[in-house]
Chain A
């Protein structure tokens, strides 16, 4: 190991040897002092354009081709040019090895910050948080994406670009409802998944015989109409994972289309934990980089100038505009997450009476990293906030709760503020904003009219009066009908069962299904 009293770098310039030194120094602090447990790291140096590229294909290093990624790229490039948007200077992939991108324009200090943040903070979180363990397969994801990319390209060659594009468009429209929210099945093994996909195709090709097409089919068996309960049980209804349902039961999809739905579904599922842990994930990474870089500065490995530069970007990252600020657009996950991690550190090491009363389990226990590592492993945003948001932090952010009921003529009511009466209510309400059950509309397949016109029936259970946007919903249902290839109806009903609105979509005669 190098002597700890020598500078890692001076000024802003860096080369690959500098990066190696920085990685080594960060790793030492992460391993020996923070006791982090990470996947092997892979650092990739890229240009700004490649960063935009990575942005537009959902941050993945390799992805299948689709026009919408081109759209995102154009959109982001335009705002980047206008200077509306600085590039986020970190993208990190939940995979093993864990891939972090460094932009070549960054100064040496920024590279240190990103390495500490992504390669150690995010990396540890990915490897240890229970949601990621449950839902994602870090070892297999890169291979699986490679497979998906090849498979989509292969489909385009065989079945034409347009047909593939239609199928993917439809799948993308349903992506938000292509997720299993509750574990029940065995964990994901993408490598095996890919092998199975290959075998499925091979079998189809081997078993194909054109003669079967010509076998005369007798009149349809007029089996007794199954009773509703039995039918729904057989189809696995109600089913909230629309993509899964279509893949398994849509009557006229071709095998390759089912495979495409499956790919989109797997990718949606892979990102599902990230949507539930934004605050924790960024909080963890920010807390880790803050600890590491402070330590490096103490060890005399960063100059004061570089440390000041770090503090400036760090402060920008964790800035929380207030609600009446023009820059306000909701809680900044970096700010909220980092504040909570620091607050937990304070409660563990230097608690006050209030903290002992609220957090008897951890107050004053003294082992900051132990407590934090345990939290990082076992919580998600919603449970994390509802357990660990302290009154002190609520006061610090001066939070208040607005209740906006359209029925209320007078205006919006302030329901709770940062005072004794309000702490618990605020905490509950804030946690609810991160609750996955409330984030996406609750839409399920409830029935299929097998005896009649094979209509697929969906239900949206309306919560708190928030109905679906009409124009968008019509288009999504159109995609759904194209995949299902018969009529699709969607009923919006409230908890009491009152029907508020009904949509019906008819399939178009394009070759989504043949």
Chain B
């Protein structure tokens, strides 16, 4: 009897994947807590690589009727020197390891490896840019076009020559269409042939071949293949996110670090949630410049502080590249709150007249000294200015942050799905 050997590697229908997703759903609260906790103790860049989290197992163990205690009898191997009737002192309960009868009895947590996607997903789970696409709802969806295989019908412009020819070739081979060389050879032979009988034979053969060639065309309509395109709806919601940061001398390394963290997070969040998000980085001292991401976070710069320069730059960019009719505009600004007093007027005017009217949302993050307490910070000039605007109902969110562990709550806070009411109130 031949033994049946199957290669299962070919269909790695990963059963574990679906069960894993179920497990993650089930343990969501626990895993989410673990993700938050672990992301506080690590650099963001590492955090976003996913990686291991420790999940307490007792929230997810499956209970069984288990017995414990009582009188126990054990038969053990490896007696060295005991004799019947010996009394052995009990080991300290702390020293002895628990009898690992079930899984993870003796362990109260286990390390759980999350992929990058799972990790960020969990983290961003209840975040959503506010009001995205609100203005665009009435608009028609724009269509994009994508290649999608081949089809048997279409317009001549889309004929795929290579496909068609190769199919024709396959058909000719399969139906044994005589090749022209064979015909040419026979005709040459006919030309040289003097024997009548043989000539007749050759002529008949040539005739047969010719009719067969006529019957089996070189290219048949059924060979023809057209390139197929399908339209894909493009999400209409496109947003642009402006990241503004003060990099002047008054910003300490610690503050920059906080701001960096905030943006990185923001950056990941946007990159992930929305395919159509443009991000513009503007950093400013007393002059503002648009920079690339690398420079924004890591480029050296120093100078005074003029917040309005950044707002002005943002305004110019909006005017030149992002028409508010087509783009939802979001802005997040990080600063230590310092600003020249002379600049307050300009800043306020720029904000109220140019920026806020076209923005869906404007977030301001005020970063403070290490070990400072957020509620003890005296209100900075910028804070006071923004506070005034907010009181007048401008769509503006503000937070103060001192420690990097506070970044995450703030972040959540800024972007939580809030009900319509709250949004209009804040």
* Chain A residues close to B by CB (< 8 Å): 16, 19-20, 23-24, 27, 40-47, 49-50, 52-53, 56-57, 63, 65-75, 77-78, 81-82, 97, 101, 104, 119, 165, 169, 172-173, 175-177, 320-325, 328-329, 331, 397-406, 408, 410-419, 421-422, 426, 429-430, 432-433, 440-441, 443, 460, 462-469, 471-473, 475-476, 479
Q: B34: shortest Cβ distance to chain A, in Å?
A: 12
C-alpha gap A52/B113 in the complex (Å): 15
Inter-subunit contact B3/A56 (CB<8 Å) = no
Q: B88: shortest Cβ distance to chain A, in Å?
A: 5
List 7 contacting pairs A-B, 8 Å CB cutoff, sorted by A: A50-B9, A70-B26, A71-B23, A329-B99, A412-B90, A413-B87, A466-B68
Q: B74: shortest Cβ distance to chain A, in Å?
A: 5
The 8 A CB mask of B110-134 against A (1 = contact, 0 = none) is 1111000000000000000000000
Residue of A nearest to B104 (CB): A75
Inter-subunit contact A406/B110 (CB<8 Å) = no
Question: Which residues of the other chain, A, contact B148 by a CB distance below 8 angstroms?
Answer: none
> Is B15 an interface position by the 8 A CB rule?
yes
C-alpha gap A432/B16 in the complex (Å): 38
24-40 of chain B: CB within 8 A of chain A = 24-27
> Is B72 an interface position by the 8 A CB rule?
yes
Within 8 Å by CB of A417, from B9, B83, B104, lies B83
Within 8 Å by CB of B77, from A78, A323, A408, A460, lies A323
Question: Which residues of the other chain, A, contact B110 by a CB distance below 8 angstroms?
Answer: 74-75, 78
Within 8 Å by CB of A433, from B6, B7, B75, lies B75
Inter-subunit contact A73/B74 (CB<8 Å) = no
Inter-subunit contact A329/B8 (CB<8 Å) = no
Interface centre among A328, A329, A417, A479 (most CB of B within 10 A): A417
C-alpha gap A69/B60 in the complex (Å): 12
Question: Which residues of the other chain, B, contact A46 by a CB distance below 8 angstroms?
Answer: 8-9
C-alpha gap A101/B87 in the complex (Å): 48
Residues A104 and B62 in contact in the complex (CB < 8 Å), given A329-B100, A413-B87: no
Inter-subunit contact A468/B65 (CB<8 Å) = yes
Q: How many residues of B contact A (CB 8 A)?
A: 61
Residue of A nearest to B86 (CB): A414
Residues A70 and B19 in contact in the complex (CB < 8 Å), given A78-B112, A173-B64: yes
Within 8 Å by CB of A400, from B7, B52, B82, lies B82
- Where chain A touches its partner, the secondary structure class is mixed
Inter-subunit contact A422/B6 (CB<8 Å) = no
Within 8 Å by CB of B3, from A41, A72, A173, lies A41
Q: A366: shortest Cβ distance to chain B, in Å?
A: 30
Residue of B nearest to A323 (CB): B76
Within 8 Å by CB of A73, from B19, B85, B88, lies B19
Question: Which residues of the other chain, A, contact B65 by a CB distance below 8 angstroms?
Answer: 176-177, 440-441, 443, 460, 468, 472-473, 476
Inter-subunit contact B8/A67 (CB<8 Å) = no
Question: Which residues of the other chain, A, contact B393 by a CB distance below 8 angstroms?
Answer: none
Inter-subunit contact A40/B63 (CB<8 Å) = no
Question: Which residues of the other chain, A, contact B64 by a CB distance below 8 angstroms?
Answer: 173, 175-176, 472, 476
Question: Which residues of the other chain, B, contact A16 by a CB distance below 8 angstroms?
Answer: 5, 7
Question: Which residues of the other chain, A, contact B3 by a CB distance below 8 angstroms?
Answer: 20, 23-24, 27, 40-43, 119
> Is B69 an interface position by the 8 A CB rule?
yes
Q: A112: shortest Cβ distance to chain B, in Å?
A: 13
Within 8 Å by CB of B113, from A78, A323, A399, A443, lies A78
Within 8 Å by CB of B112, from A74, A101, A322, A432, lies A74
State the total of A-B contacts with C-beta under 8 angstroms. Answer: 255
> Is B294 an interface position by the 8 A CB rule?
no
Residue of B nearest to A74 (CB): B112
Q: A90: shortest Cβ distance to chain B, in Å?
A: 15
> Is B196 an interface position by the 8 A CB rule?
no
Interface centre among A70, A324, A469 (most CB of B within 10 A): A70
Inter-subunit contact B6/A43 (CB<8 Å) = yes
Q: B201: shortest Cβ distance to chain A, in Å?
A: 51
* Chain B residues close to A by CB (< 8 Å): 1-9, 12, 14-16, 18-27, 52, 60, 62-80, 82-90, 99-100, 103-104, 110-113
Interface centre among B12, B52, B65 (most CB of A within 10 A): B65
Residues A406 and B63 in contact in the complex (CB < 8 Å), given A45-B6, A69-B19: no
C-alpha gap A44/B68 in the complex (Å): 41
Interface centre among B8, B22, B68 (most CB of A within 10 A): B8
Question: Which residues of the other chain, B, contact A418 by a CB distance below 8 angstroms?
Answer: 79
C-alpha gap A320/B76 in the complex (Å): 11
C-alpha gap A44/B4 in the complex (Å): 8
Question: Which residues of the other chain, B, contact A417 by a CB distance below 8 angstroms?
Answer: 79, 82-84
Residue of B nearest to A322 (CB): B78
Question: Which residues of the other chain, B, contact A412 by a CB distance below 8 angstroms?
Answer: 87-90
Q: A394: shortest Cβ distance to chain B, in Å?
A: 9
Q: What would 18 more interface pairs be, CB under 8 Å, given A69-B16, A71-B60, A472-B63?
A: A16-B7, A23-B5, A43-B4, A44-B6, A50-B8, A71-B23, A73-B19, A177-B65, A329-B99, A402-B88, A404-B90, A408-B87, A441-B66, A462-B70, A465-B70, A466-B67, A469-B68, A472-B64
Question: Which residues of the other chain, A, contact B73 by a CB distance below 8 angstroms?
Answer: 401-404, 415, 429, 432-433, 464
Inter-subunit contact A399/B4 (CB<8 Å) = no
Interface centre among A16, A41, A67 (most CB of B within 10 A): A67
Question: Which residues of the other chain, B, contact A53 by a CB distance below 8 angstroms?
Answer: 14-16
Question: Which residues of the other chain, A, contact B21 by a CB distance below 8 angstroms?
Answer: 70
Q: A311: shortest Cβ distance to chain B, in Å?
A: 22
Question: Which residues of the other chain, B, contact A73 by a CB distance below 8 angstroms?
Answer: 16, 19-20, 23
Inter-subunit contact A75/B71 (CB<8 Å) = no
Q: B29: shortest Cβ distance to chain A, in Å?
A: 14
Question: Which residues of the other chain, A, contact B89 by a CB distance below 8 angstroms?
Answer: 410-412
Q: B31: shortest Cβ distance to chain A, in Å?
A: 10
Residue of B nearest to A458 (CB): B65
Question: Which residues of the other chain, A, contact B85 by a CB distance below 8 angstroms?
Answer: 413-414
Residue of B nearest to A97 (CB): B4
Inter-subunit contact B113/A398 (CB<8 Å) = no
Inter-subunit contact B77/A67 (CB<8 Å) = no
Question: Which residues of the other chain, A, contact B87 by a CB distance below 8 angstroms?
Answer: 408, 410-414
Question: Which residues of the other chain, B, contact A68 by a CB distance below 8 angstroms?
Answer: 23, 62
Question: Which residues of the other chain, B, contact A65 by a CB distance below 8 angstroms?
Answer: 18-19, 22
C-alpha gap A354/B88 in the complex (Å): 32
Inter-subunit contact A104/B84 (CB<8 Å) = no
Question: Which residues of the other chain, B, contact A463 by a CB distance below 8 angstroms?
Answer: 70
Question: Which residues of the other chain, B, contact A430 by a CB distance below 8 angstroms?
Answer: 75
